[in-house]
Structure 1
Amino acid sequence: MKAEQGLFHVTRQGVLRRFAVPRAWLMNRFFLPRRSKNAAQLRYAAVLDGQTVNLHAVLPRHASLPDRVTVVLQRGRKRHHAEANAYEGPAGDVLVDAAVLMGVEIGGVPIVAGKWKLRLRMHAGRRSRSMALLLLEPPVPYEGPTKPMTASRITGTRYRVGRTVTGAARIVSSDPVPAVEVSKVHMSHAGVTVDFRVLGTEVDRPWVEFVAAGREIRRTVQPLGPGLFRTEVPLEQMTPRSARPEHWDVVLHQEAGSPLRLGRRLHDVRNPRRVFAMRSMAMTPVGRTPLIVQPRYTPAGNLRVTCTRMPEAG
C-alpha cells in the first residue's frame, strides 16, 4: 500500500512539473495582459505569522478612491468578507492594504479547508462593485534565521497564497497535520514535567513513552483542557545505567492511531535546537546518583532529554 502511495505521489509530481511551464506561459502571455487593465494587482501578498494574510494592492488607473473596500474570500457559493483600507498613493494611484486574520477559533474569517479566491468589493455610497485581484508574482521564500510560518501557532491550520491559471489570487487552506506541540518543560529534583497540545487529531486513551536505547518508561497523561495534556516522569527512572549519556525521546501513543513525537512544530525558526535552547541542571533523584539533565530540541524539532551521571559521582 505504501509503495502504491509513493508511486502515485511521484507520478503526480511528474505531471505537475510537466504542465507547470505551459501553465505559466498561458498565464503570463494570455490571461494576465488581458485582465490587468480592469483588475487590482497585488504588489505584496504573504502569510507572515501563519494565520494573517497581508495584502498590498494597486487599483487600475481609471479607478477612483472608494468610500470603503472589503476583501472577499469565495469558494463556490460561500463568501466571507474582511475589511481593508483604501487610500491615495504618492503617485496618485489608489492603493489597498489588508490584514485578514484566518480561523473562526481565533475570531478570524471562518474559512474551511480548500481553495478560496480573493476579490475586492468597492463601496461608493449605496453602490458597490466587485473587482478581480491578480497575483502577478508568487511569494518568494526568504533566507535568514527565520522562515515563513507554515501554520497557525494556535490551531495548526495551514494557509498559503497561490493563484489560479488566470492569475487570480487565492488562499489555500489545509487542515492541521497531526502533531504534538510542546507547550512547557519543567524540571525538578522529582522529575521532568511536560505540557503539550495535540493538533489535527483526536486522541483516545493516550499515554506517553520516554524512550532511550533499549529502555522504555510508560507514563500516564493528565488532561488539562481541550487538547491540552501533561505528563510527568520521575528522574530516578531515567538514571543512566553507565557513565555514557542516555538520550530520551518522548512519544505519544493511543489505542487507535500512529505514535506521535513530542516537539516544537509551530514556529518560524530554521534552527530550533539553538533558538529554543534550555539550560542543563544538576539534579539528585531520591536515593540515586546525581545527574546532569539537559532537555533540548533536535534539528527536526523533536523533544529530547539527555541524562548524564555527574563525573565526580563515578
Structure 2
Amino acid sequence: MSGPNRTAGLRGRAAALRQRLYARAVDWRSRLMLHVFLPLRAQRTARLHYAAVLDGQTVNFHAELPRSAGLPDRADIVLRRGRVRHRTEARVYRGSADTVLMDAAVLLGAELGGAPVADGRWKVRLRLRQGRRSRTLPLLLVEPPVPYDGPTKPMQASPVTGARYRVGRSVTGNVRIVAAAARPGAEVVKVHIAHSGIEVDFRLLGTEVTDPWAEFTASGRRLRQDVRPAGPDTWRVTVPLDEMTPRKARPEHWDVAVCSQTTRRMRLGRRLHDVRNPLRVFAMRSIAVTPRGQAPMIVQPRYTPAGNLRVTCTRMPEAG
C-alpha cells in the first residue's frame, strides 16, 4: 500500500474506532442513569419524556414530575449560565394515573422576543411556586433526542438569525441547552427569473462585510459582479446572462459566491431549512433566453444537494 493510501486507511480506521467508542460511552451513560442516577434522584428531579429543538429556535419540553410536587400556582423553566437567568412560563397539569406532567416551549433569541441566550452551555431547571414557597427541580434527560427519517429533518439553526441551538445533557443526565452563533454564510432570500436576467437577493449571517461583490465561476471562467443593498440586511446581485453563454455544446454550471476584502469567500445558498432534498423541494423553473449577440440558451437556477445555488446554462439544440 502506498504512503497516501496507507495514511487514508489509518485515518479511516481511527475514525471508525472513535465512533465505536463514542457509541459505547453513550450506551454506558444511559445505563448508568437508568440504573443509578434515576432511582436515586426520582423524587428530586423531573424526568423528561421529550426534549427537542424543532424549528431551530424553540425548545420543547414534556416531563413527568415527582408526585410530591403537586400542582403549583406557577411553574417556570429557568435557563441559567453563571449569574444570568432567563425565565419562561411552563404548564403543569395532572395526567392519567394521577401523574403530574409539565409542558413548555422556550423561544430562544432576543431578535425574536425570546430568551436572549449568549453562546455557551445553559443549565435548565424547573421552578415551582406554591404560595410563598418555591422549589427547583433539575430536568433529567435519560435518552437524547433521536433523529428521524423522512422528507424533513430537525432544524440545525434558526431560520431567522442563523444562531444554532441543540439539546445536550451533563454527565449526571441533567438537560442543558447549547447555544452557538450563526456560521458565516450567505443565505438566498429570493430568486427572480425574467427574460432579461436573474436577480438574486441574499442576506449575510454570522459576519459583517465591507464593499462586497459577487463572483460567478464555471469551467475556469470567472465573472465579477457588483452587489447593491436591497433592503434591511439584504443585498442584490444580477446574473449576467449575456456573459454566461456556454462556449461548447455541453452545459456550463455557474456557482455564485460573495466576496469582500474583510471576509472569506462564501457560497450563495439556501441552508436554513428542514428539507432533506433542496434540489427537489426548492425547484425553480427554467427559461429560454437569447442574449444580445449570443446564441439562444436555456437557463436553469437550482440548488445542489448541499444547498448551494447553481445556475446551469445550456445551448438550445437548434442553436448548434
TM-score, normalised to structure 2's length? Answer: 0.90
**Letter matched to residue 234 of structure 1:** P
Equivalent residue, structure 2, for 1:4: none
Select which of 99, 106, 112 maps to 2:105. 99
Deviation at 1:22, TM superposition (A): 5.5
Deviation at 1:257, TM superposition (A): 2.5
Aligned counterparts of 1:106 and 1:99: Cα–Cα separation in 2 = 14
State yes or no: 1:43 paired with 2:43: no
Deviation at 1:123, TM superposition (A): 1.6
Query: Residue 43 of structure 2 contacts residue 68 of structure 2 at CA under 8 Å; is this kept in 1?
Result: no
State the superposition RMSD in angstroms: 2.0
Equivalent residue, structure 2, for 1:177: 183
Equivalent residue, structure 2, for 1:74: 80
Equivalent residue, structure 2, for 1:268: 274
| Range with bigger deviation, 235-244 or 69-78 | 235-244
**Letter matched to residue 294 of structure 1:** Q
Query: Residue 27 of structure 1 contacts residue 165 of structure 1 at CA under 8 Å; is this kept in 2?
Result: no
Query: Residue 51 of structure 2 contacts residue 167 of structure 2 at CA under 8 Å; is this kept in 1?
Result: yes
Query: Residue 189 of structure 1 contacts residue 235 of structure 1 at CA under 8 Å; is this kept in 2?
Result: no
Alpha-carbon distance change, 222 to 174 in structure 1, aligned in 2, over 3 angstroms: same
Equivalent residue, structure 2, for 1:119: 125
Aligned counterparts of 2:254 and 2:97: Cα–Cα separation in 1 = 61
Aligned counterparts of 1:32 and 1:225: Cα–Cα separation in 2 = 53
Instruction: Map 1:123-162; keep pairs closer than 5 Å.
Output: 123-162=129-168
For the residue of structure 2 that corresponds to 1:143, the secondary structure is coil
Select which of 227, 233, 238 maps to 2:233. 227
| Range with bigger deviation, 15-24 or 106-115 | 15-24
Deviation at 1:31, TM superposition (A): 2.5
Equivalent residue, structure 2, for 1:246: 252
Aligned counterparts of 1:276 and 1:293: Cα–Cα separation in 2 = 16
Aligned counterparts of 2:295 and 2:195: Cα–Cα separation in 1 = 12
Aligned counterparts of 1:96 and 1:25: Cα–Cα separation in 2 = 25
For the residue of structure 2 that corresponds to 1:255, the secondary structure is coil
Deviation at 1:233, TM superposition (A): 2.3
Alpha-carbon distance change, 252 to 311 in structure 1, aligned in 2, over 3 angstroms: same
State yes or no: 1:56 paired with 2:99: no
Residues 244-296 of structure 1: CA distance to partner in whole angstroms, max 9, x if unpaired?
21110001111022211111111111111111111111122233322211000
Aligned counterparts of 2:127 and 2:317: Cα–Cα separation in 1 = 70
Aligned counterparts of 2:305 and 2:239: Cα–Cα separation in 1 = 24
Query: Residue 198 of structure 2 contacts residue 238 of structure 2 at CA under 8 Å; is this kept in 1?
Result: yes
Aligned counterparts of 2:104 and 2:232: Cα–Cα separation in 1 = 32
Aligned counterparts of 1:192 and 1:285: Cα–Cα separation in 2 = 12
Aligned counterparts of 1:177 and 1:229: Cα–Cα separation in 2 = 18
Alpha-carbon distance change, 97 to 21 in structure 1, aligned in 2, over 3 angstroms: closer
Unaligned runs of 5+ in 1: 1-6
Query: Residue 248 of structure 1 contacts residue 306 of structure 1 at CA under 8 Å; is this kept in 2?
Result: yes
| Range with bigger deviation, 25-34 or 145-154 | 25-34
Unaligned runs of 5+ in 2: 1-10
**Letter matched to residue 223 of structure 2:** I
State yes or no: 1:194 paired with 2:166: no
Query: Residue 287 of structure 2 contacts residue 298 of structure 2 at CA under 8 Å; is this kept in 1?
Result: yes
Equivalent residue, structure 2, for 1:3: none
Deviation at 1:150, TM superposition (A): 0.7
TM-score, normalised to structure 1's length? Answer: 0.91
Equivalent residue, structure 2, for 1:90: 96
Select which of 57, 61, 65 maps to 2:71. 65
Select which of 216, 219, 231 maps to 1:213. 219
Deviation at 1:32, TM superposition (A): 2.7
For the residue of structure 2 that corresponds to 1:171, the secondary structure is strand
Deviation at 1:23, TM superposition (A): 4.6
| Range with bigger deviation, 160-169 or 123-132 | 123-132
Aligned counterparts of 2:110 and 2:268: Cα–Cα separation in 1 = 26
**Letter matched to residue 284 of structure 1:** T
For the residue of structure 1 that corresponds to 2:96, the secondary structure is coil
